[in-house]
Structure 1
Amino acid sequence: MQVTDVHHAYRRHAVLRGIDLDLPPGVLAGIVGENGAGKSTLLKILSGELRPSRGAVTHRGRFGYCPQDVVLNDALTVRQHLEFFKTAYGLADLRRAEELMAALRFTEYANTRAGVLSGGTRQKLNLTLALMHDPQVLLLDEPYQGFDWDTYQRFWDLAAQLRDAGRSVLVVSHLAYDAERLDQLYRLNDGRLHPHMSAAAHTPEGAAA
């Protein structure tokens, strides 16, 4: 994914003031920013939900997006969600989805309605729906929200596996948790992306426990 000189304003209020980002294959990157920094606007533009006032976002290959707010139908079971998205993605089977369910440890909920799932399990399903078509570019918005510690670790293992398989992965978060796992880390401030300290050398403060 390549982001070039992206600007956006709401009337006279400039939110993004020239965002440039190159996310090549095989990179696990992160963007952090305080509330009001423009993360929501940037995410909408990166996902194609909003057109920038100026600039461009391009990506090649399949695109996956896991929003912070889960997009589930409470009346449908987990498997019915997977079948629906299998049709939408034009997939031949649910093999990849079943692998993800096993990795995230919620296979036993396949026939459970989404409306009675815990918040963490709903987020597991949300993440599975974004990954089940094996996207080459993946945008994750606070993807570990509601996860317990074991699932949180499994998420990062999965993210590393995707990176090692040549996928482009971008995690957007409020705080720089586990920044040492990232290849690139940026802070969104004053409408611009600023390279953070070396991700590999960073020791996160207040990491999840």
Structure 2
Amino acid sequence: MEVCGVQHAYGRRKVLGGVDLVLPPGTLTGVVGENGAGKTTLLRILCGELRPDSGTLRHHGRLGYCPQQAVLNDAFTVRQHLEFFRTAYGIPNLSRAEELMGVLGLTAYADERTGLLSGGTRQKVNLTLALMHDPQVLLLDEPYQGFDWETYLRFWELVTQLREAGRAVLVVSHLAHDAERLDRLFQLKGGILHERAEITA
């Protein structure tokens, strides 16, 4: 994915003032920033949900997006969600989804309605839906929110495997406590991305 000069404002409030970012294959990139810094706005633009005021964006291959807030229908089971997304993605079966569910400890909840699941378990569903079509570019917004420690570690093992398989992964968070796991770390500050070496308090 290549992002060049992306700007966006809500009325007179400029949120993104010219974002440049390259996500090469086989890399794990992090973006941190305070609440309100524009991280979610940036992700919405990167996934095509929001049109920027100016700038360009290009990506190659399938795109996966895991938003911070799971967009699930509480009346449907986990398995029903998977079937709907299988159809939408045009994939032949749920083998990859079932593999991911096993890794994340979600298999036992396959026939549960999502409205009855805990926040952490809903986030597992959210992540599975974003990954089940094997995207080349993966955008993750606070992806491990609500995970217990074991699932948190499994998440990072999974992300590392994706990087080794040549995927480009972007993890967005308000904290930089996972910096050592990343290839590159940026801070979104003043509407601009600053690489870790340039980050100031």
* Fold conserved between structures, TM > 0.5: yes
Q: TM-score, normalised by structure 1?
A: 0.92
Cα deviation 1:135-168 (Å, max 9, x = unaligned): 0000000000000000000000100000000000
Counterpart-to-counterpart distance in 1, 2:157 and 2:175: 19
Q: Give, as a single letter, the amino acid of the residue that structure 2 aligns with 1:61.
A: G
Counterpart-to-counterpart distance in 2, 1:158 and 1:148: 15
Counterpart-to-counterpart distance in 1, 2:116 and 2:11: 42
2:98 is matched with 98
Counterpart-to-counterpart distance in 1, 2:51 and 2:13: 16
Partner SS state of residue 29, structure 1 = strand
1:23 is matched with 23
1:37 is matched with 37
Greater mean alpha carbon deviation, residues 12-21 or residues 89-98:
12-21
Instruction: Please list every run of 5 or more consecutive structure 2 residues that lacks an aligned counterpart in the other structure.
Output: none
1:48 is matched with 48
Instruction: Please list every run of 5 or more consecutive structure 1 residues that lacks an aligned counterpart in the other structure.
Output: 199-209
Q: Give, as a single letter, the amino acid of the residue that structure 2 aligns with 1:113.
A: R
Counterpart-to-counterpart distance in 1, 2:182 and 2:115: 34
Provide the identity percentage. 70
Q: Give, as a single letter, the amino acid of the residue that structure 2 aligns with 1:183.
A: D
- Name the Cα RMSD after superposition: 1.1
2:59 is matched with 59
Q: TM-score, normalised by structure 2?
A: 0.96
Runs (4+) off by over 4 Å: none
Q: Give, as a single letter, the amino acid of the residue that structure 1 aligns with 2:90.
A: G
Displacement of 1:116 after TM fit? 0.8
Displacement of 1:177 after TM fit? 2.3
Aligned residue pairs total 198
Displacement of 1:192 after TM fit? 0.3
Listed as ranges, the matches of 1:82-97 within 5 Å are 82-97=82-97
Partner SS state of residue 115, structure 1 = helix
Counterpart-to-counterpart distance in 2, 1:138 and 1:158: 12
Paired residues of 2:40 and 2:141 also in contact (CA < 8 A): no
Counterpart-to-counterpart distance in 2, 1:186 and 1:40: 14
Counterpart-to-counterpart distance in 1, 2:29 and 2:133: 21
2:127 is matched with 127
Displacement of 1:12 after TM fit? 2.6
Counterpart-to-counterpart distance in 2, 1:65 and 1:180: 23
1:140 is matched with 140
Q: Give, as a single letter, the amino acid of the residue that structure 1 aligns with 2:57.
A: V
1:201 is matched with none
Partner SS state of residue 72, structure 2 = coil
Partner SS state of residue 160, structure 1 = helix
Displacement of 1:80 after TM fit? 0.7
Displacement of 1:8 after TM fit? 1.3
Counterpart-to-counterpart distance in 1, 2:184 and 2:114: 35
Displacement of 1:42 after TM fit? 1.0
1:193 is matched with 193
Counterpart-to-counterpart distance in 1, 2:193 and 2:87: 37
Q: Give, as a single letter, the amino acid of the residue that structure 1 aligns with 2:5.
A: D
